[in-house]
Amino acid sequence: TVNITSTVYRRNFWLDIYPVRESGSGFFIHEDGLILTNNHVVSGSQKLQVTLADQTIYEAELLERDPYNDLALIKVKPKKPIHVLRLGDSDTVQVGQKVLAIGNPFGLSGTLTTGIVSSLHRDLQDESGRLLEGMIQTDAAINPGNSGGPLLDSQGNVIGVNTAIYGPGSNIGIGFAMPINRAKAMLDAYRSGKRFGRA
């Protein structure tokens, strides 16, 4: 799991340009440096940096976006072997099964929390008002900075991408993850050279 820093340049009241940095999480899905994360983690960014657990920092390139499922694919050029997570099958997820969430809440890298699947097929509006459908609800603690990190089953397979929390900005035992099978369509399109929902 990696920490992603997104830099967006904005203008203030006096039209001066200033950088705004936001952080989220992501995880490697291929040895060549492909990283899966949330679209809202990278949206609008003019500069993307990825920090590994050993504090190695890479510049990242945005490859694909799927705003309707809040997913994005970015890539770095690793200079050494990296640890890749296996993608599971979110269609087999059941209410009550144990899950683990990994991410960088509040900038605290490599944080692991555990819980269960609380419910399935939840619909949730994102900050732009877009409806995110069919989410996995979990009571594993998900906080700001966890977005884009993996939700794992007890065998270590990725079954979801941690996407949102319910509440005023911090965990109250209700978090939501986008099922990993939604990401597979975007990955298939990238690998076949087709454009996929980039907007």
Catalytic machinery residues: 40, 70, 147
Helix residue ranges, H only, 6-73: 39-42
Please give the structure tokens belonging to residue 132: 């995110």
Backbone angles phi, psi at 41, to 5 degrees: -70, -35
Please give the structure tokens belonging to residue 145: 């900075």
Is the CB of residue 161 less than 8 Å from the CB of residue 177? yes
Q: What gap in Å lies between CA 36 and CA 73, rounded to an integer?
A: 5
Beta-carbon contacts of residue 58 (< 8 Å; ≥ 6 apart): 33, 49, 50, 52, 76, 77, 78
| Residue written as token pair 């890298």 | 109
CA-CA distances (angstroms) from residue 74 to 27, 85, 95, 124, 139?
A: 10, 15, 31, 24, 28
